[in-house]
Amino acid sequence: MAGKGFTVKKNWDNPIEHAMPASARVPASFAIGSVTVAPATVLAPMAGVTDTVFRRFIRHASLFSAATTASETSSASVEDAVTNQQSGCGLLMTEFTSADGLSRMRESKRKRYLTFYEDEHPIAAQIFGSNPETLAEAARIIEQTGFDTVDLNLGCPAKRVVGCNGGSGLLRDLPRIAEIFRAVRDAVAIPFTVKFRLGWNDTSIICVELARMAESEGLNAVALHARTREQAYTGQARWEWIAAVKQAVTIPVIGNGDIRTPEDAAAIVDQTGCDAVMIGRAAPSNPWIFRQIAEYTATGAYSRPTEADRWLMIRTYFQMLLAEAEASQSQPRDARHGETAGRMKQFASWFTHGVANGAKLRQQVFVCKTGREVLDAVDRFFESRLTANGDHPEIATAAEERTDGEHANDAQALTAAAFTCSG
């Protein structure tokens, strides 16, 4: 359903280090039809990553208000702090979901794939497929479920998706894409967007033509991952094509590809004129990225997490996963908790990216059988490191007091204090 078995590459090929532009900043907001996105930052849809827990985790990890300093934000009222204008992540997106599966399954089962909470608005649901009527029906289901926008995936390079003519496989069939655009546009009133790549390969760059087609068929925005399907996640994203698309259409253009830092976010806006930035791989490896962009935009500087910050961040997310598994009734309890332990292991590799001796922690986590064992391994690793460095290792106890007994959807309470960078 949601593209299990395919995960994006966790590192970048010789990333370019961008200097912060003198004047360019990520815009304060942009509009996708009737939906205002503020600030103009978007969490990219990622298979196996952007479920409801991770989305809420990112939304509340991104709290930032220009009216307060970074240290003051954590002590402010969470209810007051969480608004679109103050959150560092303006739009959340689901994992991509099969339109065919969505249209066929019974309503009770759909909830597993389309679950979201009120604090996730504005939120977009992304679908993939190749049949116009099926995609239109899936879009209607998404609208009825209460999502703010629907997005069509024309970018996934996974072989099993492409083999069904879905994702980036459709980039070889522009007439079929036009049929899909018309069918989905006629089916729903909510804003409709598309995320696509440059083309199938370097000999078939069709992004400008595709963007023009999207505009002519009534889509409300386009997002371009500036690589071809053949590139997948290798090589450099070619931002010059984002600039070309921006010049070709009047609807909003969202730039995506190789945005790892606030400097990168400002640089892509400066170089392409795009209306918003979409961040994928950088989000699970640095969950503070959206907040850092908001901080830089407001103050000209941004804070970086310490190891203690990272420890609390990891266990906060893992506590949310455990709480969600306990609250869910979609699977037997043992299956839910087994799946959660697997997800914790997956994210341990993301979250320890760049952590000294992170490979040692990943090895320890890999042999764990339960979520609680994973948490204990994380605590032992960071407690040992912080003690060796002369830091005070009481962060786990504080986190335990905050998180035990919380409900799965209490993401604000779980993350408000966890993401104030102390360094």
Catalytic residues, which ones?
Answer: 156
14-24 burial: b if 16+ Cβ within 10 Å, else e? eeeebebeeeb
Say how many C-beta atoms besides its own lie within 10 A of residue 9's C-beta. 10
Q: Which amino acid is at 303?
A: S
The length of the chain is: 423
146-173 burial: b if 16+ Cβ within 10 Å, else e? ebbbbbbbbbbbbeebbeeebbbbbbbe
Task: Give, to the nearest 10 degrees, the angle between helix 289-299 and helix 262-272.
Answer: 70
- CB neighbours of 107 closer than 8 A, spacing ≥ 6? none
Beta bridge partners of 225: 197, 256
Looking up tokens 């391994």 gives 377
Tokens at residue 75, please? 């002590």
Cis check for the bond before 27: say yes or no (omega within 30 of 0): no
Tokens at residue 360, please? 């040692």
